[in-house]
Amino acid sequence: METLDSPTGSHVEWCKQLIAATISSQISGSVTSENVSRDYKALRDGNKLAQMEEAPLFPGESIKAIVKDVMYICPFMGAVSGTLTVTDFKMYFKNVERDPHFILDVPLGVISRVEKIGAQSHGDNSCGIEIVCKDMRNLRLAYKQEEQRKLGIFENLNKHAFPLSNGQASTTNYKEKFPVNGWKVYDPVSEYKRQGLPNESWKISKINSNYEFCDTYPAIIVVPTSVKDDDLSKVAAFRAKGRVPVLSWIHPESQATITRCSQPLVGPNDKRCKEDEKYLQTIMDANAQSHKLIIFDARQNSVADTNKAKGGGYESESAYPNAELVFLEIHNIHVMRESLRKLKEIVYPSIDESRWLSNVDGTHWLEYIRVLLAGAVRIADKIESGKTSVVIHCSDGWDRTSQLTSLAMLMLDSYYRSIKGFESLIEKEWISFGHRFALRVGHGDDNHADADRSPIFLQFIDCVWQMTRQFPSAFEFNELFLITILDHLYSCLFGTFLCNCEQQRIKEDIYTKTISLWSYINSQLDEFSNPFFVNYENHVLYPVASMSHLELWVNYYVRWNPRMRPQMPIHQNLKELLAVKVELQKRVEDLQREVATRTISSSSERGSSPTHSVTPVHTSV
């Protein structure tokens, strides 16, 4: 089989086809033979059927097992017989006897757990496995017992789906070549410079250049200019995990700031830290527009009180007299994990039409999305309308804090609503500031019941999607862009979402051993562009955080159900609209140049012949 290294090679085409197919809700990921035909250009004479059953491989990918006569128990179309291929990246099932061919292509990183089940009702196929996925679907396979003994299907899947649990490296061997280096999308110094930093009130500090000051923070942080490193260290000792308040964003006019941190360690005896109190006063003083500081604690008040008994807590208004403390009442990671579990139960494999709305309501998923959006709107409003600086934290400052800072910045700053700006936002507020992707997603770990797993980043992307529904022309990217990000959050094909913090990524050589997701996306921007995008600079978005304005993201959560597929080929229509938009923009630019040329020419003629009169041209209709 031919493998191409160019961005138009096997992976790019595969990704386009797979994701476009999922948006159209093809049955359980099936892709037509026409769509995958270019993956089989190298078919030779001989046993063509066998060759057609082969799995297309990415550069660096290798086959670990091939099993024939496997039965996929499809919940929508019944049992389908085909060939199963397990590689070090994916599980690939194909039936070539159907027209169109039936293909099931599942990245191993998507697998949450693999369980043995009985399959006595499927003839000779007496062995079976159930594959529970992180992307809202479950898969069932049945096969002969001798195949299990000979090839160890269950063992192979477990070994390669959960490399960390089997003592293997978690990084991918993917070697595709792209013309764009996605690792260069975000440069902290350049991003802070875009915001006008450093300035007289804020400085770029390298106190964490070796990650010894705070091992979960990035190497480069922005702190108040007047704060000395010794005082900063004392503040770190008073904040959970040493995550001191650092600047995320500054308003270009009012100088009101968004700073993020973790909870103060006040404990049950209301411990105080004069350096921390002075530090927050300095943050407030850096904004001449307001004599107040708003501290947004993402947690529920009752939970924050419980944390106080355990040594954590929150800022008292007596210790911080110029600060106002606001609890945003957002539930913790465990509540969110349970909510997503309930959502999965009602969307896959079957949907109860008669109870659909009440079932969705019973998951509380949209209610939690509403609370999150409402919190971000309050933050953005304090910055924009109130011209007041804010401090945001939850417990450790890497879950709800990342959700709130990034959503508020998305509302306030139009740059983050561009494709590369949004990529930069994720790199900055999520990846560099230590959202624990490996733990929250469970990359390569077979402990599916791990209490650290939670759909925090998924919630953020869902909130972004809700905003794109309310402001369809405000974002440069389309729905496919968001779905692609989520699919590769789990796939582990790219290094973007591997590890838990910047220090770990440096230690694991992620930036040299793996490829960035942004390399793939930015090599084909047309695929992910919104044809309705209008770049309104300095325009603040205030989404309506009301249940009446929110909806379930069917094209993501219910995409595996063929009965929920869109009636129109949405992605193709958007691509055609984008092409029309580009052509119209080109014509406008040509006309503008023509008008400019004529204006210059007319001015020149008038200058050389001052007595010459120009007869106006009238156009009759």
As given in the structure block, the two tokens for residue 554 are 């069917």
CA distance 36 to 13: 8
Using CA atoms, how far residue 221 sits from 231, 241, 273, 383, in Å, is: 15, 16, 22, 21
Q: Maximum distance among all alpha carbons in the chain? A: 101
How, if at all, do strands 246-250 and 221-224 pair?
A: unpaired
What backbone phi and psi angles, to 5 degrees, belong to 423?
A: -60, -40
Which residue numbers are catalytic? 394
Q: Find the helix packing angle between 274-285 and 229-237, rounded to 10°.
A: 120
Q: For residue 19, how many other CB atoms are within 10 A of its CB?
A: 20
Place of tokens 């599942």: 106
As given in the structure block, the two tokens for residue 185 are 């999308």
CA distance 252 to 505: 32
Ranges assigned E (strand) in 53-188: 63-74, 78-87, 90-95, 102-107, 111-118, 127-133, 138-143
Annotated binding-site members for substrate: 307-310, 332-333, 394-400
Q: What is the DSSP letter of 213?
A: S
3-state helix, strand, coil in the chain (%, to 5): 45, 15, 40
- Residue among 247, 537, 289, 255 at smallest CA distance from 413: 537
DSSP for 222-276, written as a single string: EEETT--HHHHHHHHHTBGGG---EEEEE-TTT--EEEE---B--TTTT---HHH
Q: Which helix or strand (DSSP H or E) is residue 324 part of?
A: strand 323-327
DSSP count for the chain of H helices, then E strands? 22, 14
Q: What is the DSSP letter of 596?
A: H
CA distance 74 to 70: 12
Annotated binding-site members: 307-310, 332-333, 394-400
CA distance 136 to 405: 27
